Amino acid sequence: MGRPSKPIISKELAVRAALEVVDDEGIEGLTVQLVARKLGVKAPSLYYHFKGKSEMLEEIARMIQIEAIIPHMRDKGDWREQLIELAVAVRASILRHPKAAPLLLQFFPRHLMLKYYDFWVNRYDIPAERRMVVIEGVEKLTYGSALIGAMSRANGASPMPEFDEQEFPHLAEAVKANPMTDEQAFIETLKVFLYAF
All domains of the chain, ordered by start, with CATH?
11-65 (1.10.10.60), 69-194 (1.10.357.10)
Task: Report the alpha-carbon distance of residue 129 to residue 140 in Å, rounded.
Answer: 18
DSSP state of 71: P
Angle of the 114-121 helix axis to the 128-155 helix axis, nearest 10: 130
Dihedral (CA of 74, 80, 82, 86) sign: positive
63-91 residue pLDDT tens: 998 888 666 666 678 899 999 998 999 99
What is the torsion angle, in degrees rounded to the nearest 10, for the CA atoms of residue 13, residue 145, residue 121 and residue 59?
A: -20
Does residue 134 register a pLDDT over 60? yes
pLDDT for 143 = 95
Amino acid identity at 188 = E
pLDDT for 170 = 97
Does residue 109 register a pLDDT over 90? no
Task: Report the alpha-carbon distance of residue 119 to residue 188 in Å, rounded.
Answer: 23
What is the pTM (predicted TM-score) of this model? Answer: 0.84
pLDDT for 6 = 60
Least confident of 1-10, 30-39, 130-139, 153-162: 1-10
Q: Is 115 exposed, middle or buried (0-12, 13-18, 19+ CB in 10 A)?
A: exposed
Amino acid identity at 149 = G
Residue 10, Cβ neighbours under 10 Å: how many? 10
Task: Classify 140 as helix, strand or coil.
Answer: helix
137-154 residue pLDDT tens: 999 999 999 999 999 999
Closest CA to 61 of 96, 106, 25: 106
Q: How many CA atoms lie within 13 A of 17 on its CB side?
A: 20
Task: Report the alpha-carbon distance of residue 180 to residue 145 in Å, rounded.
Answer: 14
